[in-house]
Amino acid sequence: MPAKNNPLKLNPLQLRTLALLQELARHPATSTRDPQSGEATITHLPHAHGDHVHVGELVISARDASGFTNPAVWAALERKGLVRGSFPHAAITLTAQGLVYDTGLGGIRADHSDH
């Protein structure tokens, strides 16, 4: 039997936020990795300017990144074991499960930055 898509039943905003965190975790400029635990701590959460947010080398609609400032999204991701931290007071760490969770959103609408 194939694996169930979205087994933790994340809503669309939670899925988008997790996908963007996974993207941030890929870049050493925005995260650090713990080789022992397999976790990644996000060292820099981007902030929207105008109608977009820079995530790594990508430009994402500010609307798609609105979960970065939504405490309910952080609480849900933490409750489901995908992140750890004390938002907004501490760094956010993606657990090993959070790093590999298939959000199904590999195709988030993004453009490469021109600035």
Structure confidence at residue 55 (pLDDT)? 84
Q: What are the DSSP E strand ranges found in the chain?
A: 31-34, 39-42, 52-55, 58-61, 83-84, 92-94, 110-112
2-11 residue pLDDT tens: 566 899 999 9
Question: pTM to 2 decimals?
Answer: 0.87
52-86 residue pLDDT tens: 988 877 888 888 899 998 999 999 999 999 999 87
Structure confidence at residue 44 (pLDDT)? 86
Structure-block tokens of residue 60: 């994402």
What is the CATH number that goes with domain 12-112?
Answer: 1.10.10
Name, in order, each residue with C-beta under 8 angstroms of 94's C-beta and a sequence gap of 6 or more.
21, 22, 25, 39, 40, 41, 42, 82, 83
- Per domain, the residue ranges of the chain are 12-112
> Is 80 exceeded by the pLDDT of residue 105?
no
Closest CA to 97 of 18, 20, 35: 18
